[in-house]
């Protein structure tokens, strides 16, 4: 999945959560079949932590794969 598609999908997942361009670039490493699950995981983690912007540091800190 390309960066623009990921950015559109990620930023439409929740109106209160924004994904940075760098975070979307990092998400290109996620297989297409797992993209929705990865975005939903990050949105839920952001909500739980009171975060409104998902950046690469947030992705790394909340990566369920370690």
Q: What residues does each domain of the chain span?
A: 3-61
Residue 64: is its pLDDT beyond 80? yes
What is the pLDDT at residue 66? 72
Scored b (16 or more CB within 10 A) or e, 27-36 reads beebeeeebe
CATH pick for 3-61 out of 3.30.565, 1.10.3470, 3.30.1490, 1.10.8: 1.10.8
What is the pLDDT at residue 35? 97
What is the pLDDT at residue 50? 98
Helix (H, G, I), strand (E, B), or coil: what is residue 23? helix
Give the tens place of pLDDT for each residue, 6-52: 999 999 999 999 999 999 999 999 999 999 999 999 999 999 999 99
Distance separating alpha carbons of residues 38 and 30, to the nearest angstrom: 8
- For the entire predicted model, the pTM comes to 0.94
What is the pLDDT at residue 5? 97
């Amino acid at each position: 999945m390309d960066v623009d598609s990921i950015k559109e999908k990620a930023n439409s997942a929740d109106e209160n959560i924004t994904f940075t361009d760098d975070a979307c670039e990092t998400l290109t490493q996620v297989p297409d079949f797992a993209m929705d699950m990865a975005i939903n995981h990050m949105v839920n983690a952001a909500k739980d932590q009171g975060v409104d912007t998902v950046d690469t540091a947030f992705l790394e800190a909340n990566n369920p794969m370690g």
